[in-house]
């Protein structure tokens, strides 16, 4: 019985105490989750018969706005958050509380997504400091430039998807700004 009732806690998927506190607050939850190749952000409201999802955006939606980089990177997380925030605002939502799940201690990119939501105009408390250059992908551009000058083979292998899509990874910060501007105009 115990194993069945608390299976999700044993699998480290749900912190029931934290979830209860969020539900008692009666605010919309902005649920940010990371997968191996991207991010998913949902606006969820509690209902007795089960949570209801009103807005959902994944990092794959960035492709529709011209994003050519990896959808699981920190810049993609921030842009996904911005896109979610713009979409949620159009649907009439203006605030929420971040639900980063059990992964929150491990991944700054989840906080980057929450910062993107906040910067899009949604009132969401985020207590994170991430340097703007890191959000824009300067660390990726620096690494790509280093590899390009030292190991061409590793550079082509590491950034094959970017190169195939027509993006030079050392130019990711400029590309980030272009896509951010497009999303900001929504």
Phi/psi for 66 (5° steps) reads 95, 5
For residue 120, give the 3-state DSSP assignment: coil
- What is the pLDDT confidence band of residue 139, given thresholds at 50, 70 and 90? very high
Q: Give the CA radius of gyration of the chain.
A: 18
- What is the pLDDT confidence band of residue 129, given thresholds at 50, 70 and 90? confident
pTM given for the model: 0.87
- What is the pLDDT confidence band of residue 100, given thresholds at 50, 70 and 90? confident
At residue 184, does pLDDT exceed 50? yes
pLDDT of 141 reads 96
Domain count, the chain: 1
Query: Lowest-confidence range among 91-95, 107-111, 162-166, 170-174?
Result: 107-111
Q: Which of 6, 44, 50 is nearest to 22 (CA)?
A: 44
* DSSP type of residue 136: H
For residue 159, give the 3-state DSSP assignment: coil
pLDDT of 4 reads 54
* Bigger pLDDT: 27 vs 95: 95
Structural tokens at position 129:
């400091």
* CATH number of the domain enclosing 6: 3.30.420.100
**How large is the average pLDDT for residues 157-181?**
95
* Cα end-to-end span (Å), the chain: 50
pLDDT of 1 reads 42
- How far from 68 is each of 2, 6, 170, 173, CA to CA, in Å? 47, 41, 13, 12
Residue-number span of the structural domain to which 47 is assigned: 2-184
Structural tokens at position 159:
């950034």
pLDDT of 118 reads 95
Hunting for tokens 């703007």 — which residue is that?
132
**Mean of the per-residue pLDDT values for the chain?**
88
Residue 43 neighbours by CB distance under 10 Å: 23
């Amino acid at each position: 019985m115990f194993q069945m009732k608390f299976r999700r806690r044993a699998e480290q998927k749900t912190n029931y105490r934290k979830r209860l506190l969020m539900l008692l607050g009666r605010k919309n939850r902005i649920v940010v989750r990371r997968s191996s190749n991207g991010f998913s952000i949902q606006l969820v409201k509690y209902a007795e018969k089960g949570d209801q999802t009103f807005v959902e955006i994944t990092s794959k939606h960035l492709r529709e706005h011209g994003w050519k980089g990896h959808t699981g990177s920190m810049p993609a997380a921030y842009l996904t958050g911005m896109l979610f925030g713009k979409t949620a605002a159009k649907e009439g939502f203006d605030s929420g509380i971040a639900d980063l799940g059990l992964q929150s201690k491990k991944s700054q990119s989840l906080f980057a997504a929450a910062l993107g939501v906040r910067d899009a105009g949604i009132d969401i408390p985020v207590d994170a400091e991430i340097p703007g250059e890191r959000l824009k992908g300067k660390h990726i551009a620096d690494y790509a430039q280093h590899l390009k000058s030292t190991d061409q083979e590793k550079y082509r292998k590491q950034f094959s998807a970017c190169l195939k899509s027509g993006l030079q990874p050392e130019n990711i910060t400029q590309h980030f700004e272009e896509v951010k501007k497009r999303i900001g105009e929504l």
